[in-house]
Amino acid sequence: MSATVSFEVPSPHGPRTVTVSYARVGRGEPLLLLHGIGHHRQAWDPVVDILATERDVVAVDIPGFGASPSLPDGLAHDLPTTSLVLAGLCEALELDRPHVAGNSLGGLLALQLGSEKLVRSVTALSPAGFWTEAERRYAFAVLLTMRHTARRMPLPMVERMSRTAAGRTALAGTIYARPARRSPDAVVAETLALAGATGFSETLRAGTTVQFTDDVTGVPVTVAWGSRDRLLLRRQGVRAKRIIPHARLVRLPGCGHVPMNDDPALVARVLLDGSR
C-alpha cells in the first residue's frame, strides 16, 4: 500500500520537515528496500511479493527520487544527511532496527546504516563506493548520459520504444541484463523517474568524493553482484569483501546492475537469506 510520511530532521539551521513516499506490504520482521540513483521504489516490484511472504516490506522513494520531494533547504543530498533521513523515517514508521537491502546508491546507504548499527542486517546489491577513480568517472558519465537522454526524449517516443524488445533494450539495457523482460509500462515509468528526479544532480555531485573504506561490524552483511553489471563492474565486489571481511559475497549469474528484474527468484532468495 502506497503512502507518505512527514517527520522532522535536525539541520544546522533548525529542524526541517521531510516527506517520504513509500509502499508497505507483508508481515514478519521489517525489511527496508532502497533503490539506486535516478530510479524509484518500483525497481523492487519483481521481488516484493516473494519477500512479503516472510517480511514486512517497506520500499522507499529516497528523497529527490520517485514520488518523494527533494530535501528542504538546509539538508544536503549527501550520504550523512540521507542516512539521517532514513533513520528518521524508521523512527516515524516505528521500524525497530529493520533489515535493509539496497541497490547501487541504495546499497551504499544500506551499508552506511549498518555501520551506524541502525539495522539488523544489510544486503547490498552492486553497492556504490567501492570504485577506483577511473571506475567512478566511467559510471558517472554513463549515468549523466542516461539522464540527458531521458530528459530529451518526448513521452510519445518513450512509449513507442517501450513496446518492443529492441526499444526496451535501448532504454534500459545499461542497467538490466535482460531488459526485454521488463514490462513496457515499467520502462516508461522508470525513464520518466530518471528524467524527473529532482535530487539527481546534487546526489551525483556529492558522490564524487564517496569511497566506502570502513568495515561494517556487529551486523550480518551480504554483498551481491551481477555477473553482467555494465555500470559498476563486478570486480568491485571483491574490493567490498576485502573491506568488509566477514561479508558474504554472492555472485548473481546473468544479472545486470539492477538484478531484481533479471532474476527475481534468485534475488529474493539472497535478500531473505541475508535477513535471517
- So what's the pLDDT on residue 76? 95
Q: Please answer whether residues 245 and 146 qualify as being in contact, where contact means their C-beta atoms are separated by less than 8 angstroms.
A: no
- So what's the pLDDT on residue 237? 97
**pLDDT tens sequence for the chain (276 residues):** 789 999 999 988 899 999 999 999 999 999 999 999 999 999 999 999 999 999 999 999 999 999 999 999 999 999 999 999 999 999 999 999 999 999 999 999 999 999 999 999 999 999 999 999 999 999 999 999 999 999 999 999 999 999 999 999 999 999 999 999 999 999 999 999 999 999 999 999 999 999 999 999 999 999 999 999 999 999 999 999 999 999 999 999 999 999 999 999 999 999 999 998
- So what's the pLDDT on residue 187? 98
- So what's the pLDDT on residue 13? 84
The three-class DSSP label of residue 259 is: coil
Residue 4 pairs in a beta bridge with: 21
Among 118, 79, 34, CA closest to 211? 79
- So what's the pLDDT on residue 42? 98
- So what's the pLDDT on residue 2? 87
For residue 195, the one-letter residue type is A
- So what's the pLDDT on residue 38? 97
For residue 20, the one-letter residue type is V
- So what's the pLDDT on residue 12? 86
3-class secondary structure per residue, 179-209 = HHHCCHHHHHHHHHHHHHCCCHHHHHHHHHH
Q: What are the cell numbers at 9?
A: 530532521
In the chain, domain spans: 2-132+212-274, 136-196
- In CATH, the number for domain 2-132+212-274 is 3.40.50.1820
